[in-house]
Amino acid sequence: MTRYAPVRGAVAAILVLLTGGSGMAAEPFPFDRDLLLDAAPMRPGKRMPLLTVEPNGNARIDLWCRTVQARMEISDAAVKIEAGPLPEGQPEMMSAGQCTSERLQADRELLAALSQVTAWRWADKGIMLEGPKALRFRPSDH
């Protein structure tokens, strides 16, 4: 039996590599990176939703019109997002007419979807935030 031990060891090592064994670390969450929502632009305006998370869990969520601060708890695959309230006023840096009623409604809907996210994973060079509605963010190249 001992003459097959090296073969068994090699086979076991190959199986661990092929199945992504628990000894191999998954790609970590991209802290301190701007993550851009993978969605069609909403006119008027060029602003797209952006998520930035610090390693300590503090986050900034730039929605279609407004920006909110948030707190995120992130583990290997789980995530919890607790966002602050939407500001009442229009953003100072937006030009007149950019924050239409449709964009303001989209802010509320996106924030509601983010608050229901329970898991995250890497998928196709982006981050999938999973909940009742899946949201895909990709690292910004700016």
Q: Tens of pLDDT along 77-106?
A: 999 999 999 988 776 666 667 888 999 999
3-state helix, strand, coil in the chain (%, to 5): 25, 30, 45
Q: 27-90+97-139 in CATH: which number?
A: 2.40.128.270
Give the Cα separation of 118 and 73 in Å (integer): 10
User: Quick one: pLDDT at residue 128?
Assistant: 98
> Mean pLDDT of successive 10-residue segments in the chain (142 residues)?
48 39 66 96 90 98 95 96 89 72 94 98 95 96 78
Distance, in Å, from the CA atom of 125 to the CA atom of 107, rounded to the nearest integer, reads 25
The predicted pLDDT at position 7 comes to 44
The H-or-E segment that residue 79 falls in is strand 79-83
Give residue 114's pLDDT.
Answer: 98
